[in-house]
Structure 1
């Protein structure tokens, strides 16, 4: 039978074992301490996910009104929100004595406005995510109602027939 003292004696003779034990102890301490200060983190809002959820709710409502049954919808989008801001552009050109262009400099700057919270960019356009496909299940709907809903969705989102799936 092997004694614990012999095992510890062999273990302590290994080169660098002190560093390993120190790292393990630090890891265990960090696990128990954790990184939380007792307050919960607030989740970051995702405007694109909110947009998708809103579109899915609208489609379910349309299906319920058109077909008279409960519907479940899934919307597939690409990209996220894109924003365009107002800006100024200026061009400075320096000419040589012979009339040729020696130097051209284009400067772009964004327009800002003063608000109570500081300065903010002036938005010109906000584009929503692009809807690429829609799937809707209306359990108990007639085939005619499902086709009517499909046509409505195609017109609403400017989608081709292969990008929209509606089933009963």
Structure 2
């Protein structure tokens, strides 16, 4: 049986092309045969024309890729970044309102503390006045009690002396004096 040689096709090219191929194969660390097979696969899969040195197809693909990337970025900007910036502005405004409210609360607490201190002083002063009134009332009650004792003593002594006035007038006088004493 004879073996079929896979390498039975051959391509002829100039020695100048051979030197370029040899140099390229050595730079890429491949054999000339592997390099040719890989180049053919590359051009087959990429559908590029080897004559097109400027590679217009690649430029078009890159341009469309850049356009797609820019469209994606614009879409992300409108969908994500703009709402984030709007929420950031709203949060900043809320923070400003919160700070101003906090300052007002602190001012009101300070004023309330001052008012409470003044009210406490006023209540202490009222307490002192009430205390003196209670003492005055107490002394007034004691004064009434003593006066009543004096009056009762006067009435009893007057009875013993026997003034010439009638008993009814004496009782009426005692009643009026007692009533005046209660109003005191």
TM bucket, shorter chain: under 0.3
Larger helix share, 1 or 2: 2
* Greater radius of gyration (CA): 2
Larger strand share, 1 or 2: 1
Tell me the TM-score normalised to structure 2 length: 0.21
User: Which of the pair has the greater relative contact order for Cα pairs under 8 Å at 6+ separation?
Assistant: 1
Tell me the TM-score normalised to structure 1 length: 0.22
